[in-house]
């Protein structure tokens, strides 16, 4: 059987090689460019979007209820004497 230490050593060497390669620098640069682009786009997270959507839905429900209440109050209000 193969010694597990060989795999550990191979893994360590490959990790060190990848960390020192230009691919790592390219990955960092691409991430930085994408982060800059996303920042300029003024994006929000999915969690923040969902929270705002729920808040808007509750606000619409309250508005509908208030409109119905005002309509009912206006309907029940006695007409005032006109001059």
Is there a single domain that holds both residue 36 and residue 49? no
Quick check: is 81 in a domain? no
Examine the domain organization and report whether 12 and 23 are in the same domain.
Answer: yes
- pLDDT of residue 15 exceeding 90, the answer is no
At residue 49, does pLDDT exceed 90?
yes
* Same domain membership, residue 65 and residue 29: no
How far apart CA 12 and CA 18 sit, in angstroms, is 10
Distances from the Cα of 70 to the Cαs of 48, 61, 74, in angstroms? 33, 14, 6
Residue 54 and residue 37 share a domain: no
| 18-38 residue pLDDT tens | 777 777 778 788 888 888 887
């Amino acid at each position: 059987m193969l010694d597990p230490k060989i795999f550990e050593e191979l893994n360590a060497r490959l990790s060190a090689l990848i960390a020192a390669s230009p691919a790592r620098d390219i990955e960092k640069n691409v991430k930085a460019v994408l982060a800059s682009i996303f920042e300029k786009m003024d994006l929000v997270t999915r969690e923040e979007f969902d929270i705002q959507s729920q808040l808007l839905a509750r606000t619409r429900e309250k508005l509908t209820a208030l409109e119905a209440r005002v309509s009912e109050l206006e309907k029940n209000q006695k007409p005032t004497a006109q001059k």
